[in-house]
Amino acid sequence: MIVGQHTVIRTAERDDARFLRAAYLGSALRASLLDVRKEPVQPTREELEELLGSKETARGLFYAVEDLEGRVCGFCGLRGVNQESLFAEVFFLFLSPEMEAGAGGEEAVQFVLGQAFNRLHLAKVTILVLDGETGLGALLARAGFACEGAQRQAVHARGVWHDVQTWTCFREAAEAPDNHTGGCHALQD
C-alpha cells in the first residue's frame, strides 16, 4: 500500500468488484473497459471477482485507488508486461472526472510509471484512449505521454463510432516516483 498526499494506492481485491462493476455500468465509455477485440463488454460481478482474484492481481499489477477517506475512486495498473521487450500496457480508470483532472489522478499515473520504470525497469508503456476521454488524454500529456496517432472509427458502441488513440511514454520522458521514498526524480539511464 502506498499512501500519497491525495490517494492511497493498494493492490485491488475481490471486494473491489462492485466498484469496478459500477465503472462498466457507467455512462462513459472507456478504452480500459474494452475487451481484447476492442469491443464493450458487461461482465458480471462474479466475473470481476474472479478477475480481481487472478494471478495478475496477486502479482501486484492491478491496483485500486482510494481517496484519503478510504473510498475507491478508480483503478490503475499494468497488463501485458513483456520483460524481454521492456514494454507494457498501462491503464487508468477513474470513477469521476474530478479524480482524473486532479492531483489524485496525477498520483496514480506517477505510481504506475514508477512501477513500470523503476520496479520493472521497462523502457516504454502505452495506453489506449477513446476520443471522448479528453480528461484522461490531458492527464497523460501532463505526465509525459505523447499521442502517437489514432485508429479512426475503430470502436462502435452505443450507436456511435469512436476513434482509439495510442499514447506512449518512454522512460526518458517520464518523471516517476521513487516508490520507496515517495519523492519524484527525473529518470536517467
Residue with cell 500496457: 89
pTM, full prediction:
0.85
Q: What is the pLDDT of residue 168?
A: 98
pLDDT digits (tens, 9 = 90+) for 140-169: 999 999 999 999 998 888 888 999 999 999
Confidence category of residue 59, pLDDT binned at 50, 70, 90: low
Span 91-111, mean pLDDT? 94
DSSP string, 22-49: HHHHSSS--GGGB-TTS-B----HHHHH
Q: Does domain 2-186 sit in CATH 2.40.10.120? A: no
Span 21-47, mean pLDDT? 86
**Is residue 136 a contact partner of residue 97, using CB atoms and an 8 Å limit?**
no
Q: What is the pLDDT of residue 173?
A: 84
φ, ψ for residue 80 (rounded to 5)?
A: 65, 35
Question: What percent of the chain has pLDDT above 90?
Answer: 60
Q: Which of 55, 59, 65, 153 is nearest to 110 (CA)?
A: 65
> Domain boundaries in the chain?
2-186
